[in-house]
Amino acid sequence: MEAMKTVVLRDGKQVPALGMGTWMMGENPAYRTREIAALQHGIDLGICLIDTAEMYGEGASEELVGEAIRGRRDQVFLVSKAYPHHAGRKSAPMACERSLARLGVECIDLYLLHWRGSIPLAETVEAFEKLKAQGKIRRWGVSNLDLADMRELYAIPEGKAAAVDQVLYNLTRRGIEWDLLPWLQSQKTALMAYSPIEQGRLLRHSAFCRLAEQHGWRPAQLALAWVLRHEGVIAIPKASRREHVEENFSALQCALSPEILAQIDRLLPPPKAAMPLEML
């Protein structure tokens, strides 16, 4: 079995660089058995980081994940996210308790602010630090925060405790390479890349598909391997079928030569200037 690449978080915790996303999973009862089997197969392979959120199906995804990990909690690194309006002193404890109940666990390994809202970042930091002190979460982070937001966060007392910034990053969304990604790497803060295959749209990019085939890989493998090659980057592709889980896992075997990386840059070039953070 291919060895799992890992990323070390700020507090020294080692986590898999390849995880499993669950956006839009748990919403259709007809797919439930298949989706649970896919998550459990991923855990068996060592893809034990699972990302979910209270927003996904208004809790349906968390409930699905809870069912998938029942009896296997100690094997899983669990990530969930709170709505921006649930990230205050009073709202965060209640939102966290609801997520814990849906997941069927006593503690969330990594709890994220899903995106920035009207609640001041300082209040969210205070609320999340309190949840950590109470043992409800082990660490916290943020999602969809751009460089200016991150600098503001890190200027707050205890703001530098943020373990990750989860953002949209893939071959067609490379803007963060200009400033956010190098800054996070300089701060030793992990970046968690959601939609690393652009929700499947990259698989319909004909020139990219031809490039992957020329090197004997499937497009999804190459797209995921490209994201995973970065130090300090965790990729969380969704995989609702066993075969997708296995294809994602096989991306760990793709060694990208300088020649292939140059071909990719010509086809899907890096940014030439700063640009606003993209979101899905």
List the catalytic residues. Answer: 56
Contact of 193 with 234, CB cutoff 8 Å? yes
Q: Which of 176, 162, 161, 166 is nearest to 143 (CA)?
A: 166
Contact of 256 with 226, CB cutoff 8 Å? yes
Burial call 81-109: b when 16+ CB within 10 Å, e when fewer: bbbbebbbeebbbebbeebbebbebebbb
Bridge partners (DSSP) of residue 14 are 8
| Residue length of the chain | 280
Strands 14-16 and 140-143: unpaired
> How far apart are the C-alpha atoms of 173 and 180, rounded to whole Å?
13
> How far apart are the C-alpha atoms of 227 and 235, rounded to whole Å?
7
Residue 264: φ, ψ to 5°? -65, -40
Contact of 157 with 205, CB cutoff 8 Å? no
